Amino acid sequence: MKYDAGNITWVLISAALVMFMTPGLALFYGGMVRAKNVLGMLMQNFFALGIVTVLWAVIGYSLAFGGTGDFIGNFEFAAFKDVATTPPPGLDALPVPPLLFSGYQMMFAIITPALITGAIADRMRFKAWVWFIAIWVVVVYSPVAHWVFSPEGWLFKLGSYDFAGGAVVHINAGIAALAAVLVLGKRRGWPQHPMPPHSLPLTLIGTGILWFGWFGFNAGSALSGSELAVQALINTHFAAAAGMLAWLVVEKFRSGHATTLGAASGAVAGLVAITPCAGFVGSMNAIYIGAIAGAICMFAVSWKMKFGYDDSLDVVGVHLVGGLVGTLLLGFFAESVINPDSGIPDGVFYGGGWGLFGDQVIAAGSVMVFSFVVTGVILLVLKKVLPGGIRVDAEEEESGLDLNEHSETAYAYDRV
Amino acid sequence: MKLIVGIVKPFKLDDVKDALKDLGVHGITVSDVQGFGRQRGHTEVYRGAEYTIDFVPKVRIEVLVDDADTERVTQALIETARTGKIGDGKVWVVPVESVYRIRTGEAGPDAL
C-alpha cells in the first residue's frame, strides 16, 4: 500500500472532527444571540457546510492548491479533476492520499467564513450572506490558503509558519469580520439596549464541540499519525485549559465574577492562539501561549465599546486578536527540534533571533490588509447591487431574523 | 365577590399557595411577570460588558373570593409573602361583577 494506514486513519478522523466544529460554532454563537435570531445564526453556519463544499469541489481547492503561482492557484483541479491521483504542486511527499488532503482542507474552508457570522449577527439578510460567503471563499479564502499552506505560496516561501491556520483561518476571518461590521453598521439599539445571550447552555455545548473538534484541526494538521500529531494534540488541550483559566482570573478581578461565558471565551481564545503554533512549540509553552491569549482577549473584547464597532459576538476580540497573539508568539516560542522536517528556525527564546518573528509579522500583516480590503469591497458592491441591500429593514430586525428570513421560530413555547 | 391580585416574590409562591389552600380557597391563577417598583433591577455582565436589567421578575397571583372571605385571604396572602425587605410586592382587591363556571354554567358564589 502506498500510504500508511495510520496516517490515513488519523487524517480521516481529523477531517470528521473539523467538520463537526462548524455545527459546534453554530451553537457557540447561537446561544449568544437573542432568541429571535438563533435560527438565523444556526442557518448561516449550516449553510456554509453546503455552499463551501460545492464551491471547494468546483474551484476552491484548485485556486488554493493548484499551480505554482506565488499568489493564487490555477484551474488544474477545477471541477475536482485529477484530485484523487495528483498531489498538489510542492506536496509530492504528502503522507496521505491527495483526495483525503483536499477533503481535510475543505473543512477549514467551511469553518473560516462561518467564523464571520458572529460579527454580523442579528442583522444581515440571508440572501446577502449567501452571496457574500460564496464570493468570499473563492476570492479571499482560497488565495490566502494558497499564500500560506501551499508550498508554492509567497508567504510559505518567505519562511513564515502557520501550523493549522492562525493566519489563514483566524486572522483572516477576524479581520474580515471587522470589515463586515464597518460596512453593515451596528445593530439597532446597540450599545444602549442590552442584548444578552439567550442560552448560555447552548454556547457551552458549542464550546465543548469546538474544543473536541480542534484536536482534529490542529493535531490533524500533522497530516500523519505521528509524534508530531501527539505533540499538537497535547498543545491544543493545554492552551485551551490555560486560556480558560487566564480569562477567568482577569474577569474575576475586573468585574467581580467568573462567568460561564468567560470560561467558554477563554478556552476558545487559547485554542485560537495555539492553532498556528501547535506543531512547532513544546508543551509548557502551549500553556503560556494559551494563558497570554486568554488574558489579552479578555481585554480585547471591550475595544468595540471604546471604538464603537458592533462586533456582536467578538470575532475580532477573540479570533483576530487570538490569531495575532499565536502567530506572533510563534516567533518567540518556536523550537526547531519539535518539528525538524518543517525546517522552522528557532524563535527568539531559543536563540534563533528575530528572523522568524519578522516573517510572522509580514504574514499577519499581509493577510490582514488583503482580507480587510477585499471583504470590504465585496460587501460594498453587494450593498449596491442586491435589491434591498445587505441588511434587513428596521421592522424585520426588531421582530428577528428567524421569522423574517426563514419563516420559523426556534422555541414554540407560547401557545397563544 | 372580589378579585384579589398579588404581585409577590417568586420564591414565596409555594408558601402563599399553601396558606391559601389551608384557608379553603378553591383555585388560584399564577403567572410570571416582570416590572419595577421601589426595588431596583440588577446588573448582568457578559464578556465584561455590564447590562442593567430594569425589570425584576415577580409572580402574579389572582384569587376569586366571596365577599366574606376577602379580608381573611388578603391578610393570609400578605403575611405569607412578606419578608420585610424592599421588593415584597403589592396586593390589591377589586370588585367582581359576575363569575361563571364554564362547565356547568353556574353563576355567582356557586361558581367559585
> Rounded to whole angstroms, how far apart are CA atoms B24 and A38?
46
**Residue A80: inside a domain:** yes
Mean pLDDT along residues B47-53: 81
CB contact under 8 A, B45 and A301: no
Give the CA angle between residues A84, A85, A86 to the nearest 5°: 105
Would you call A196 and B44 a contact, using CB atoms and an 8 Å cutoff? yes
Confidence of residue B50 (pLDDT cuts 50, 70, 90): confident
Residue A330 included in any domain? yes
Structural domain contains residue A412: no
**Residue A239 is part of which domain span?**
5-406
B97 vs A: CB within 8 A: no
A116 within a domain of the structure (yes/no): yes
CA distance A326 to chain B (A): 21
Specify the pLDDT at position A287.
98
Residue A212 CA: distances (Å) to CA of A22, A31, A206, A258, A406:
12, 18, 10, 23, 30
N- to C-terminal Cα separation, chain A: 64
CATH number, position A18:
1.10.3430.10
Measured CA to CA, the distance from residue A193 to residue A264 in angstroms comes to 24
Q: Which grid coordinates belong to A76?
A: 488544474
Residues of A in contact with B50 (CB under 8 A): 255
- Does the residue A415 lie in any domain? no
From the list B47, B48, B53, which residue is nearest A194 (CB)?
Answer: B53
Q: Is residue A165 part of a domain?
A: yes
User: What's the CA gap between A2 and A149, in Å, rounded?
Assistant: 24
Query: Is B6 strand, coil or helix?
Result: strand
List chain A pLDDT tens, one digit each, 416 residues.
589 999 999 999 999 999 999 999 999 999 999 999 999 999 999 999 999 999 999 999 999 999 999 999 999 999 999 999 999 999 999 999 999 999 999 999 999 999 999 999 999 999 999 999 999 999 999 999 999 999 999 999 999 999 999 999 999 999 999 999 999 999 999 988 889 999 999 999 999 999 999 999 999 999 999 999 999 999 999 999 999 999 999 999 998 999 999 999 999 999 999 999 999 999 999 999 999 999 999 999 999 999 999 999 999 999 999 999 999 999 999 999 999 999 999 999 999 999 999 999 999 999 999 999 999 999 999 999 999 999 999 999 999 999 999 999 999 876 56
**And the C-alpha cell for A246?**
487566564
Q: Identify the DSSP state of A213.
A: H
Q: Is A369 exposed, middle or buried (0-12, 13-18, 19+ CB in 10 A)?
A: exposed
How much is the pLDDT for B40? 77
Q: Structurally, how many domains does chain A consist of?
A: 1
Q: Which domains does chain B possess?
A: 2-111 (3.30.70.120)
* Residue in B with minimal Cα distance to A197: B46
What pLDDT is stored for residue A415 in this prediction?
A: 58
Within a domain: A413: no
Question: Which long-range contacts does A408-412 make (Cβ < 8 Å, 24+ apart)?
Answer: A408/A39, A409/A39, A410/A35, A410/A38, A410/A39, A411/A35
Q: How far apart are CA A389 and CA A56, in angstroms?
A: 27
CB < 8 Å from B in window 77-96 of A: none
Q: Does B49 touch chain A (CB under 8 A)?
A: yes
Residue A184 in any domain: the answer is: yes
Is the Cβ pair B48, A256 closer than 8 Å?
no
Nearest residue of B to residue A248, measured between CA atoms:
B47
B26 pLDDT tier (thresholds 50, 70, 90): confident
A197 in reach of chain B (CB within 8 A): yes
Whether the per-residue pLDDT at B44 is higher than 80: the answer is: yes
Separation CA A73–CA A67 (nearest Å): 5
| Residues A115, A402, B43, B37, Cα dihedral to 10° | 170
Question: What is the model's pLDDT at position A255?
Answer: 87
Any CB–CB contact under 8 A between A191 and chain B?
Answer: yes
B contact test, residue of A193, A255, A257 with most B CBs within 10 A: A255
ipTM of the complex: 0.70
Q: What spatial distance separates the first Cα and last Cα of chain B, rounded to whole Å?
A: 9
